[in-house]
Amino acid sequence: MASLTEADGPHGFGARLKAHWVFKTVAMTFFTLAFFCGYFLLLKFPAFPVTVMPLTALDRWIGFQPSALPLYISLWFYVPLAPGLIADKRELVTYYWAMLGLALVGLAVFFFWPTSIPPQQIDWADHPAFGKLKAVDSSGNACPSLHVAFAIFSAIWLDRLLRRMGRHAWLRVLSWCWCAGILYSTIATKQHVAIDVVAGAAFGTIAAIIHGHRVRRRSLVDVVDRAKSLRTA
């Protein structure tokens, strides 16, 4: 059986995106729906008293920027990129399990420790583009920011995949710039405060490190198993 890193050979982007595309579509759709069901349930019905997160100097320095809204929403185009570029079915499955684990831990934190951002001195009626966002995603489920956690997790894996594929460094730089823009937008749209962003970034990084360690360990086991099978053949 191939190791988890063998799929990261000289495949083009098109071939990778087409690989297991039905599974990718179904898995991402199911994950998104399940996540938002749990997210909005905890948002509307917190189990414990809600803690209001404090503002920092960074929050005051980064004022409200309505133009950052497209960057904020772009997370949902950014997140599918990494699994979309995975060509190995088993690695793809482990990736979705890692995302599910990240989501479940985050939701568990929101259950036991509900948080929100402070009230903003903003007249949202002056910014109709934010109307639907504020209607469905209020100021709760703040810390850690799962918006940031998913962005960081995706960025780390996109960087790993692009390096394995031997692609131009500018693509990796572009990916990290996109991720940084998403992080900035969480504060600039006043969906989160700086502490939420820092906690979310740490959360996403830890999840990516743990998952990466498991993938490398599984790949090493596969290499050893193949070596043993060759010796006994």
**Does 125 fall in a domain?**
no
Q: Give me the sign of the Cα torsion angle 66, 67, 73, 79.
A: negative
Q: What is the residue-averaged pLDDT of the chain?
A: 87
Give the pLDDT band (50/70/90) at residue 35.
very high
Pairing of strands 51-52, 115-116: parallel
**Does 184 fall in a domain?**
yes
**Does 33 fall in a domain?**
yes
pLDDT tens digit sequence for 54-70:
999 999 999 999 999 99
Q: So what's the pLDDT on residue 7?
A: 43
Give this prediction's pTM. Answer: 0.87
**Does 126 fall in a domain?**
no
Give the pLDDT band (50/70/90) at residue 146.
very high
**Does 107 fall in a domain?**
yes
- 177-203 mean pLDDT: 96
Q: So what's the pLDDT on residue 6?
A: 42
- State how many domains the chain has: 1
Which domain range does residue 149 map to?
11-116+133-232
* Rounded alpha-carbon distances, angstroms, from residue 205 to 107, 116, 141: 17, 22, 19
pLDDT tens digit sequence for 87-126:
989 999 999 999 999 999 999 999 999 999 998 888 877 8
**Does 68 fall in a domain?**
yes
What's the rounded Cα separation, in Å, for the pair 96 and 10? Answer: 23
pLDDT tens digit sequence for 85-94:
999 899 999 9
CB-CB neighbours of 188 under 10 Å = 20
**Does 127 fall in a domain?**
no
Q: So what's the pLDDT on residue 19?
A: 87
Give the distance, in angstroms, between the CA of residue 13 and the centroid of all CA atoms in the same chain: 21
Classify each residue of 18-52 as buried b or exposed e, where b means 16 or more C-beta atoms within 10 Å of its C-beta.
Answer: ebbeeebeebbeebeeebeebbeebbeebeeeeee
**Does 6 fall in a domain?**
no
Q: So what's the pLDDT on residue 132?
A: 76
Residues of the chain above pLDDT 90, percent: 67
Q: Is the peptide bond before 46 cis (omega within 30 degrees of 0)?
A: no
- 142-156 mean pLDDT: 97
Residue in the block written with tokens 């490398």: 216
